[in-house]
Structure 1
Amino acid sequence: MTGPQPPSSGPSSTHPARYAVGMFGTSIPINMIKGSIVLFYVDMLGLDVRLYGIVMVAYAIIDAIDNPVLGFLSDRTRTRWGRRRPWLLVGAPVLALGTIALFTVPESLDGAGLVVWFATFAILCEAADSMINANYGALLPELFPQESRRAVANALRQGFQLLALVVSLALTPWLTTSVFGTEETTEGFTITAILYGVLACAVILYMTLGVREDPRAVHAPRTPFLPTVRAILTNPRFWQIGVVSACYLSAMGLVLTGVQLYVRYSLGLEVAYALYLQGVVILATVGFLAVWAKVVRVKGAPFTWRLSLVLLTLGFVPLYLAHDLITAILAGLCLGVGYGGMLASNDLVIARVLDEDTAVHGAHREGIFLAAFGFFGRLSGAVAGVALASLGALFGYYSGDDPGGQAGTAWRVYVCVYPMVLAGLGAVLSLLIQVPTNHREHPRL
């Protein structure tokens, strides 16, 4: 382990917008998967929720293994193109092809064959997404060490993420069920996945080719695997902030995976109407994000983070009480207030943990550290699997072929009650922990 080194200033040649646009590409395919996978496999293809839950648990276990491994390999990569860029160049086409395959199921598949197809390509997409985001996220603290400039870059990339959500969540129900297909057919999902995959790959490649990594980080000594893992696992900040982040991401993961079926069963509308609910909420969140970015600059990321979690928790109450499209949209706007705050602050809080590790240990291991944090985020898949499986036991909803008599209540609980409990837990925990200072900006603190 080397001694502490001066903080890296990061290369000034990388424009925040060029870096931020990458979030648009990384978000499109993975959010189509999160937003439509339950509708596609469970409600349309008839995959039993219990089998879905088993696959998601396996997904989380594999993710727990590949995330730190991919991050570690990224930190140790030394090429003339940098540490992160080669992985991004490989991950982009793999994610695109995996997404297309996931939504292109041969008509002859059912039973065990359908489960195997789903598991194979869901896990492939997970691995590609882990590869991309471990490297993309690790660039944020390296390229933008000052929190004021980092906040700008983060706000821009979260804005691009919201734009991607408009495309991959709000437009998807309309494209898949009204433009390229119908409420009962799957062809629309295949065509939409192809469009999203090509667009995402092009954007990620454009971003990657415009990033200029810090040469001091590229030439830093390689850190060994086991001591690095030990340092992460024994760091209390990792567990404290990681668990809070997991609560937030799992809560929003449930909303993303269930909103289309909430519209179908809880509101009694066609899935295509999810366009209006998701579209209005996401576009409004863009405005909230701009306000929260100012709050970050004035009050700091930790204050914004804690307040946003409280508001996010309260936002699920009106969503539970909504009974038609108009009241659901109004409720969604309330939810968007807290969501915008978390988009503006959560990654900044995590970046401070990476800064502290670099300042204290003098090792540039942002990739493995962020990949380890990514495990908490990807726990949302396992949480969604368990929550979905519970709908069968509690409400009799097992699939679109066997929805039971309480499907409306089931999806209201899935989209509103479960997320509210998770966000509330995160809010309480956030008030009990200490967030580190920005050690790149204030190295002597």
Structure 2
Amino acid sequence: MFGTSIPINMIKGSMILYYVDILGLDVRAYGAVMVIYAIIDALDNPLLGHLSDRTRTRFGRRRPWLLVGAPMLSACMIAFFSAPASLEGAGLVLWFAVFAILCEAFDSMLNANYGALLPELYPRERDRAVANSLRQGFQLVALVISLAVTPLLTTEVFGTERSTQGFQTTAIVYGAVALAVIVFMALSARERPRYATRERPRLLPSVWSIVRNPLFWTVGLTGACYGIAMALVLSGIQLYVRYSLGLPVVNALYLQGVVILVSAAGLVAWTRVVARRGALWTWRIAFAVLAVSFAGLFLATDLATGIAAGVLVGAGWSGMLATNDLIVARVLDVDASRNGEHREGLFLSAFGFFSRLNGVVTGLALTSLGLLFGYNSGTDPGADPGLAFRVYLCGYPFVLTAIGAIAARLITVPIETPPEAAEPAGGSAAERPR
């Protein structure tokens, strides 16, 4: 989780600042590209997951894909933040589109395979809760680096507020770290051989079975409310600090740092609540806390009040990190129990369809700032960019998470404990790879 989080969160957290505010990419072009790449990504995600489920090698189903995806994601991230200074107009749009799509595709390849290992290696919900809490903790460490520290590195250590050199150097450093971590994880992973049955799942029947599953739609759409809200926050936080709070971008370090630290500390408490009350009940409470937190962030006027509101954001986000993947894992258990096939790669990639809505909605949300407030780019910010980014970072996420909190109250996801729950985490002795 540490290795996969660093590249994609630098991309999502800095792409608007880098391309729109510094390089001058028009928000309408940005929105159009985001819609296109989201459509492409929604189509290739199920295919990548299905290919993973069908893979049969002596190294396992997931490991080969992880070893291919890691260097490709690192290389594409470096290229994404290395746009030639001479590019403008259509050339800049094309560079942005090509490398944004490639980065998202290789990130999807990695996460479809990495995510499939959680329900496979930890079939019992309590074990999953602890394992998930640990991996989310490492994700938050990565977020401290890729989000909170990035503004410091790009604008002061390696570059300046209005230059691009800092982004390229930071991307090279992050790419090297991510590659080393992911390769180490992939070579160390121990898959369950019994999950790779001789009969390989077929694409169309598997997809049809998934889309007929009501839980796929209810859990997927509700989870998308959370995912899209946080995507808006991650992509807009630096410009919220610049325009809404009227501070240098480097101050995003403190606001993001507080949110992440509170989230990390909260994982222990939320995991204990899961152990006592179950993942579903805890998920509903976390959704409500997150929704309320965005109202406080909207009212912040300076760094101190922003940090105060950020504490509540961190608490709600921590609860969602501790529970959302557990709810999805329950849905995977139900599917495996009822259909007799372990197709976690395809199922998680199908769920990825909803997360791909992030790109569409963030693109449309940014485009709406031009229509509503006149913010078109850093060179044409309109009359009130501060209000524009309050709406982008706080208003839109509040509406989404409020809808999600209501929907979560109406959803019931049963627990289908698989037979593997009686085995040690690494599989029985006979099944462990030698």
**Shared fold (TM-score, shorter chain, > 0.5):** yes
Q: Which residue of 1 aligns with 2:430?
A: none
1:247 aligns with 2:225: yes
Q: Which residue of 2 aligns with 1:14?
A: none
1:257 aligns with 2:235: yes
User: Cα distance, 1:147 vs. partner?
Assistant: 1.2
1:181 aligns with 2:159: yes
Q: Which residue of 2 aligns with 1:308?
A: 286
User: Cα distance, 1:218 vs. partner?
Assistant: 2.2
CA distance in 1, matches of 2:242, 2:169: 22
User: Cα distance, 1:441 vs. partner?
Assistant: 6.5
CA distance in 1, matches of 2:277, 2:363: 37
1:29 aligns with 2:7: yes
1:127 aligns with 2:137: no
Match of 1:87 among 65, 69, 90: 65
1:15-414 equivalence runs, <5 A = 23-414=1-392
Gaps of 5+ in 2: 422-434
SS in 1 for 2:410: coil
CA distance in 1, matches of 2:414, 2:402: 22
SS in 1 for 2:123: coil
The 8 Å contact of residues 305 and 345 in structure 1, kept in 2 or not, is answered as yes
What TM-score do the two structures reach when normalised by structure 1? Answer: 0.94
What TM-score do the two structures reach when normalised by structure 2? Answer: 0.96
User: Cα distance, 1:378 vs. partner?
Assistant: 2.1
Q: Which letter does structure 1 place at the counterpart of 2:211?
A: L
The 8 Å contact of residues 124 and 417 in structure 2, kept in 1 or not, is answered as no
Match of 1:423 among 382, 401, 411: 401
CA distance in 2, matches of 1:209, 1:50: 43
CA distance in 2, matches of 1:284, 1:300: 22
**Identity level (%):** 63
Q: Which residue of 2 aligns with 1:8?
A: none
Does the C-alpha gap of structure 1 residues 261 and 98 become closer, same or farther in structure 2, counting only changes over 3 Å?
Answer: same
Bigger mean CA deviation after superposition, 377-386 or 178-187: 377-386
- Describe the superposition over 1:287-345 as per-residue Cα deviations: whole angstroms up to 9, x where unpaired: 11111011111111101111100110000011000000010001000111110000000
The 8 Å contact of residues 46 and 349 in structure 2, kept in 1 or not, is answered as yes
Q: Which letter does structure 2 place at the counterpart of 1:219?
A: T
CA distance in 2, matches of 1:401, 1:132: 36
User: Cα distance, 1:257 vs. partner?
Assistant: 0.3
User: Cα distance, 1:150 vs. partner?
Assistant: 1.1
Q: Which residue of 1 aligns with 2:425?
A: none
CA distance in 2, matches of 1:194, 1:298: 44
The 8 Å contact of residues 337 and 416 in structure 2, kept in 1 or not, is answered as no
User: Cα distance, 1:442 vs. partner?
Assistant: 9.6
For this pair of structures, how many residues does the alignment match?
422
The 8 Å contact of residues 78 and 219 in structure 1, kept in 2 or not, is answered as no
User: Cα distance, 1:439 vs. partner?
Assistant: 2.8
Bigger mean CA deviation after superposition, 253-262 or 375-384: 375-384
